């Protein structure tokens, strides 16, 4: 008998039939004798519908009132879910974020959870009641309704699990776990039975958008065992764990992440003097453009080239900003390329294994793929390459690191 906090996202509760299917699933867990806290998102599409209504009222809708509006999405789901669970013969009680209460700061639209009062939930669980909590929302100290921002329901699930010291926080989604890479690109991609929080963070920020980064960070911080599973398909999913130093064998690489939405900008022939980097990147960040990788060439003749990557959507704007900077700095030229992609190998095992990067570069070289930029962290090596090589690169790396079902027996 365990206590599980189960989070069901917008797709999992996207229709009457899906809510009923979730209720049956919960009934199964309850029948096995487990205590269950369910947290849910708004039905898929609902949040966008509400945002559209708000924008008709005000060009920039009031953040406080936007939260009042958006919070109704999850409130509808908790009520419908509770009815479906009652229909399964279970005792149920629903709570909004404010009712629980999930205390947050007052940053409307991106509030952070400060405290959760779990007394009511504990009492309900002790009475055999399934508790249904609205995800994504809370209330500040003055009882103003707040929301945690998109994907905040994952954070609600993890925070509830932490506060309740649950045995597991289970995030039900439309994929059945975390894969070594995108199965649409590599046919032999495998579901990982386990992955560490740090690896998951690198995978998530690199475009494997299964879990919200904040939820993973939160789970890591409070050591909440987190499991990603499918709402639609039976299976153990992927357990996201605290790194276990006692484990004898760790896979060197857990997965290959990639991201197509990249663009590259180069300013050529800038004077190689202190402060030039901030002169170049300052105006970019002032324009609210996020920069990812940065590369400065070794200087020649007191002048250097400076390259960075941005999200592809920001490419045109960043280029315009950079051209103004180039004039001021009397730089030679601005070049841009929005047909690039980023591929990363991720794994805690690389800490203790030398030569991982070399193996990566060799694999790419053997396919004649040119590497344009390189960036490394403790558990990740990322390279930028021409977009047209993306699939080839991912497949060759997946195979080189023996991640596939048919590659070897190494796992």
- Contact assessment for residue 102 and residue 140, using Cβ atoms and an 8 Å cutoff: no
Residue 70 structure tokens: 């958006």
- Report in angstroms how near the CB of residue 67 gets to a copy of itself at its nearest: 8
Window of 86-94, 272-280, 324-332, 350-358 that interacts with a copy of itself by CB under 8 A: 86-94
- Cα–Cα distances in angstroms (integers) from residue 392 to residues 74, 273, 372, 389, in the given order: 42, 40, 16, 5
Residue list 126-165, contact with a copy of itself (CB under 8 A): 143, 145
- Contact assessment for residue 36 and residue 130, using Cβ atoms and an 8 Å cutoff: yes
- Report in angstroms how near the CB of residue 139 gets to a copy of itself at its nearest: 9
Window of 4-12, 16-24, 251-259, 385-393 that interacts with a copy of itself by CB under 8 A: 16-24
Residue 70's SS3 state is helix
Residue list 27-56, contact with a copy of itself (CB under 8 A): 50, 53-54, 56
- Give the distance between the most distant pair of CA atoms in the chain: 79
Q: Which of 68, 85, 209, 197 has the alpha carbon at shortest distance from 145? A: 68
- Report in angstroms how near the CB of residue 270 gets to a copy of itself at its nearest: 46
Q: Does an H or E element contain 78, and which?
A: helix 63-87
Per-residue binding letters, 89-128, with a copy of itself (x by CB under 8 A): ---xxx-x-xx-----------------------------
Tell how strand 226-230 and strand 255-271 pair up: unpaired
Running DSSP on this structure, what letter comes out for residue 248? Answer: S
Helices (H), 233-346: 276-286, 315-329
Residue of 19, 116, 161, 321 that binds a copy of itself (CB under 8 A):
19
Contact flag: residue 79 with a copy of itself (CB under 8 A): yes
- Report in angstroms how near the CB of residue 54 gets to a copy of itself at its nearest: 6
Q: Under the rule (CB under 8 A), what is the footprint of a copy of itself?
A: 16, 19-20, 50, 53-54, 56-58, 61-62, 64-66, 68-69, 71-72, 75-76, 78-80, 82-84, 86-87, 92-94, 96, 98-99, 143, 145
């Amino acid at each position: 008998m365990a206590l599980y906090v189960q989070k069901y996202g917008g797709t999992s509760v996207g229709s009457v039939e899906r809510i009923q299917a979730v209720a049956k699933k919960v009934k199964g867990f309850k029948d096995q004798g487990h205590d269950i806290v369910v947290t849910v998102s708004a039905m898929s599409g609902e949040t966008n519908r509400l945002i559209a209504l708000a924008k008709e009222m005000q060009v920039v809708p009031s953040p406080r009132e936007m939260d009042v509006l958006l919070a109704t999405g999850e409130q509808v789901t908790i009520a419908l879910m509770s009815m479906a669970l009652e229909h399964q013969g279970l005792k149920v009680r629903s709570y909004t974020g404010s009712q629980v209460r999930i205390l947050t700061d007052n940053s409307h639209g991106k509030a952070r959870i400060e405290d959760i009062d779990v007394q009511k939930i504990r009492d309900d669980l002790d009475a055999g009641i399934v508790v249904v909590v609205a995800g994504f929302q809370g209330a500040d100290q003055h009882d103003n309704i707040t929301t945690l921002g998109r994907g905040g329901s994952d954070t609600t699930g993890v925070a509830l699990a932490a506060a309740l010291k649950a045995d597991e926080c289970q995030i039900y989604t439309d994929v059945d776990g975390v894969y070594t890479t995108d199965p649409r690109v590599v046919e032999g991609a495998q579901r990982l039975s386990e992955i560490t929080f740090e690896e998951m963070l690198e995978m998530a920020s690199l475009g494997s958008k299964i879990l919200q980064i904040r939820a993973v960070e939160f789970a890591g911080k409070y050591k909440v065992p987190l499991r990603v599973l499918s709402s639609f398909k039976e299976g153990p999913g992927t357990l996201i764990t605290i790194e276990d130093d006692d484990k004898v064998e760790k896979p060197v690489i857990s997965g290959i992440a990639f991201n197509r939405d990249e663009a590259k900008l180069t300013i050529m022939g800038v004077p190689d003097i202190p402060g030039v980097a901030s002169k170049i990147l300052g105006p970019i960040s002032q324009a609210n453009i996020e920069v990812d990788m940065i590369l400065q060439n070794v200087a020649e003749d007191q002048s250097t080239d400076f390259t960075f990557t941005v999200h592809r959507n920001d490419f045109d704007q960043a280029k315009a900003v950079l051209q103004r900077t180039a004039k001021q700095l009397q730089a030679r030229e601005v070049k841009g390329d929005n047909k690039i992609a980023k591929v990363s190998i991720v794994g805690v095992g690389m800490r203790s294994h030398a030569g991982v990067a070399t193996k990566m570069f060799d694999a790419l070289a053997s396919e004649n793929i040119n590497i344009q930029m390189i960036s490394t962290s403790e558990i990740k090596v990322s390279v930028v390459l021409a977009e047209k090589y993306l699939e080839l690169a991912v497949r060759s790396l997946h195979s080189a690191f023996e991640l596939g079902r048919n590659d070897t027996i190494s796992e």
